[in-house]
Amino acid sequence: MPRLKLKIQRPWIPYIIFIVTLTLTLLATAYTNQQTYTEDRLRFLNAVQDTNTNIRTQIETYIALLRGTAGLFAAEPNLGKQEFSDYASRLRLNQNYAGAMGLGFVQRIKNSDKNTYIQNVQQQDNIPFTITPVGERSEYYVVRYLIRTDKKTPTSIGMDIFTDRNLRSAMEKARDNGVSIASGKETVMDKDNNKKITVFVIFTPIYQEGNEPSSVNTRRNNLVGFVFMPFRVDTLLSEIVSNKILPQLVNYQIYDSENLTKQYMLYNSSIYHDNKVSFFLPRFREKRQFTVGGNTWTILYTNNPQFDSESAKNFSTIIFVGGILVCIMFFMLSRSQYIARTKAEVAALKLQASQKRVAKSYKSS
C-alpha cells in the first residue's frame, strides 16, 4: 500500500490570528485605561478645587465680618450690650454664618482697673459679674459680650480667656501682627450628646482710635481688645459643602498645621460620610495648603467609593475580557477550519489513492 504524502498548508495561521487579536485587545485595554484614568484624575482635581475654594471663601467671609465688627468697636468705643446685641441680630448669624457658635468681644483690662471694671459691669448689666478664673495677673482679657447662635452653648461672659495657652497664642499673634488669627483646635464637651467636639476661634484685634499702629510695641500698648468668633468644626465644614455636587466625591482631612498627625487634625469628612465599604483604597490623593486667619491649614484629599462608582474605570476590564474571548473564539474557529481542511485533504488523497488502485487492478485483469 503506497504511503500518503500530505503537505500541511500554513499550520501557524491560527496562532498568528490569536497573537494579532490579543495584541489589539491589550492595546485597546491600555488606551481605554489611560483615557479613563486621565478623565478621573481631572474629575478628582475639579472636586478638590471646588471644595478648596468653598472652604477658603467661607472662612474669608467670616474674617471680613470680624474686621467689620472691629471697625464698629473702633468707631464706638463705648458700645453697649444692647447695641451689640442689635448689631448681631441684624447679621442673622444662624442663617448666614453656618458653623459659627457666636460673636463676641474680649476687653483688655489692666490689673489696676480690675475692681472698678467689675463694679461698672455689675451696675450696667445688673448681673453678679466677676472675672474668672480668679487670681492676680498684670492684665486680663475678659469676654465682655457674647451673642450665641445656640443657647445651649455655655456662656463665657467674664472669663479671662488669655489664661488658655492655645487661645493666648492666637491673641498674641493677632495683637502683634494686626491681623485676624485663628487658634489651634480646642476640644470641648457637647452636653447634649455627651461627646467631645472640636472647635477653633478667630480673633481680630481692636486698637485705640481704630488705627493700626506701625510698630509691635505700639500695637501692644494701644490694644483695646478683640472681636472673636468660635466655630464648631464639623458643623462649619459640613454646611460649607453640603449643597455641592463635586465635593461629595472626595474625602478630606483638615489639619491646622503642616504636620499631618492626629494631634493637629481638625476634621475628617469620612467619619460623616455613609461609606458602606469597610476597606477602600483610594486611587487619588492631593494635598493643598492655605492660610486661615494667619494659620496654615493643610487639607489632604482622597477620592471616596462614590467617586469610583461613577467612574468608567471598569470599562477597560470589560474590553480586556471581551477581547480575550474574541481571541479564543477566532483561534478556535481558525484552528477548527484548519483541522477540517487537513482532514478533507487526507480524505481526498485516500480517495485518489483508492481510485489509482482500482484503475491499476482493472488494467491488470
The domain that holds 175 is classified in CATH as 3.30.450.350
Phi, psi of 49 (to 5 degrees): -65, -40
In a domain, 221, yes or no: yes
Number of domains in the chain: 1
In a domain, 170, yes or no: yes
Question: What is the mean pLDDT of the segment spanning 4-12?
Answer: 58
Burial of residue 55 (number of CB atoms within 10 Å: 0-12, 13-18, 19+): buried
Report the pLDDT value the prediction gives residue 192, as an integer from 0 to 100: 64
Question: What is the mean pLDDT of the segment spanning 187-198?
Answer: 73
Most confident of the ranges 133-147, 228-242, 267-281: 133-147
What pTM value is reported for the model?
0.76
Report the pLDDT value the prediction gives residue 277, as an integer from 0 to 100: 47
In a domain, 296, yes or no: no
In a domain, 299, yes or no: no
Distances (CA, A) of 209 to 35, 51, 75, 175, 213: 61, 39, 7, 15, 10
What digits encode the pLDDT tens for the residues 83-129? 999 999 999 888 888 788 899 999 999 999 999 999 999 988 888 88
Evaluate whether 303 touches 309 at the Cβ level (below 8 Å).
no
Question: What is the mean pLDDT of the segment spanning 259-270?
Answer: 84
Kindly report which listed range (2-16, 61-75, 136-150, 255-269) carries the lowest average pLDDT score: 2-16
Q: Which residues form the domain of 160?
A: 69-239
Mapped onto helix, strand or coil, the DSSP state of residue 292 is strand
In a domain, 345, yes or no: no
Band (pLDDT 50/70/90 cuts) for residue 169 is very high
Quote the cell numbers at residue 117.
471694671
**pLDDT of 302 strictly over 60:** yes
Kindly report which listed range (17-21, 225-229, 263-267, 278-282) carries the lowest average pLDDT score: 278-282
In a domain, 61, yes or no: no
Report the pLDDT value the prediction gives residue 273, as an integer from 0 to 100: 55
Question: What is the mean pLDDT of the segment spanning 262-280?
Answer: 70
Band (pLDDT 50/70/90 cuts) for residue 176 is very high
In a domain, 334, yes or no: no
Evaluate whether 184 touches 295 at the Cβ level (below 8 Å).
yes
Burial of residue 201 (number of CB atoms within 10 Å: 0-12, 13-18, 19+): buried
Does 70 or 340 have the greater pLDDT score? 70
In a domain, 77, yes or no: yes
Question: What is the mean pLDDT of the segment spanning 241-255?
Answer: 70
